[in-house]
Amino acid sequence: MKILFGVQGTGNGHISRSRELVSSLREAGHDVEVIISGRKEEELKEIDVFSPYKVLKGLTLVTYRGKMNYIETMFQLDLVRLMSDVFSLDVDGVDLIVTDFEPVTSMAARMKKIPSVGFGHQYAFCYDVPLAKGNMFERYTLLNFAPAQYNAGLHWHHFNQPIFPPVIPPILYEAGSVAAKPGKVLVYLPFEEVEDVTGLFAPFDNHDFYIYGKVSKDSEKGHLHFRGYSREGFLRDLQESNGVVCNAGFELPGEALHLGKKLLLRPLDGQIEQESNALALEELGLGMTMHSLDRDVLRDWLLKPDHEPMSYSKTVNYITEWITAGPWNELTEYVEAAWAECLGES
């Protein structure tokens, strides 16, 4: 089957899980071409696995000091370029479009009447999962930014619904087992300024903080270890950590829950998905939230014990089988099997 696969490039979580599914689909014998949008090509890291791929402008959200900047986001919009990319997209012979919240491929599927699968965390919000109040614009954007004909929404839990909706466990990178180092904490706060992050963690010198985000190169400042982007280094620091402090995206908290790391989330202000994720984490009793860079909350969290690993299923296999076998409007058997495989689920 020829598949056009759209990846939202604004977040490393989209790239991480799409990397796993694209590889799995190709291993299953599908011809997969990839479109990445939302970030300049020179800003994208370690994407060779997607080859052949094309990078388009798409739509980008602008943030500053941990908050959404909707005015700047509106100024960044280039609807003429967006529509030009949609109409010029080569879909000759494409049997299916898969989109991980990527708008160009989503719009092309609708306009050119090609079956489409929405794959990713955002598609879980079509169903009965925790959703922050937000405002009308935020809710509309979350549900209509990149809609698809059929949905496979990822989430950390099925929320005990009597009939399983198409909400399936996270897709995670399978790493080997590495012993955690006492007092080591992974920090990933890409929407915060480095000086603000430094001020938050500096007083807690009985812990070692490995800090990723707006950091260009590796450097040391006592117990603060700043790290430039490295997928290999990041995954190693995640495995060795006792806890994770991060924004309330989806992929990294899922990795932490899978490995049994305690979590402290700092949701991006004005971003309804992140606010909803923080709400879900607290509802599940799996972590803590701070709505600003709060030393008091951090101090309390550092004293918390680890969680038991969630041990999620190999979800990518179930989604690959579903896409390969169809029918795409019926995901229930794969959802039930994936949750049953998770520790403590039946």
Q: For each of the domains in the chain, give its residue range(s) and CATH number, in order of start.
A: 2-172+313-341 (3.40.50.2000), 184-302 (3.40.50.2000)
Rounded distance between C-alpha atoms, residue 19 and residue 13, angstroms: 10
| Contacts for 300-308: CB closer than 8 Å, 24+ residues apart | 301/243, 301/245, 301/262, 301/264, 302/185, 302/204, 302/207, 302/243, 304/243, 304/262, 305/262, 306/180, 306/242, 306/243, 306/260, 306/261, 306/262, 307/257, 307/260, 307/261, 307/262, 307/263, 308/260, 308/343
Residue 64: per-residue pLDDT = 54
Beta bridge partners of 100: 7
Least confident of 51-65, 213-227, 320-334: 51-65
pLDDT for residue 170: 93
What pLDDT, on a 0 to 100 scale, did the predictor assign at position 310?
86
Return the higher-pLDDT residue of 85 and 1: 1
Mean pLDDT of 8-16: 83
Average pLDDT over residues 222-233: 92
Q: 2-8 and 31-37 as β-strands: parallel, antiparallel, unpaired?
A: parallel
- 238 pLDDT above the threshold of 70: yes
Q: Which of 86-95, 122-131, 160-169, 300-309 has the lowest mean pLDDT?
A: 160-169
Among the ranges given (9-18, 38-47, 305-314, 323-332), the one the predictor scored with the smallest mean pLDDT: 38-47
Rounded to whole angstroms, the Cα distance separating 101 from 119 reads: 7
> Does a cis peptide bond (omega within 30 degrees of 0) precede residue 203?
no
* pLDDT score at 346: 41
Q: Given the structure tokens 């994407």, which residue do they identify? A: 47
CA atoms within 13 A on the CB side of 19: 18
For residue 268, the 8-state DSSP code is: P
Mean pLDDT for the stretch of residues 2-14: 88
Question: Which residue type is seen at 149?
Answer: Q
pLDDT score, position 178: 79
Res 285 pLDDT > 50: yes
pTM of the predicted model as reported, rounded to 2 decimal places: 0.87
CA-nearest of 120, 90, 123 to 108 is 90
Q: How confident is the model at residue 69 (pLDDT cuts 50, 70, 90)?
A: low
Averaged confidence pLDDT in the chain: 88
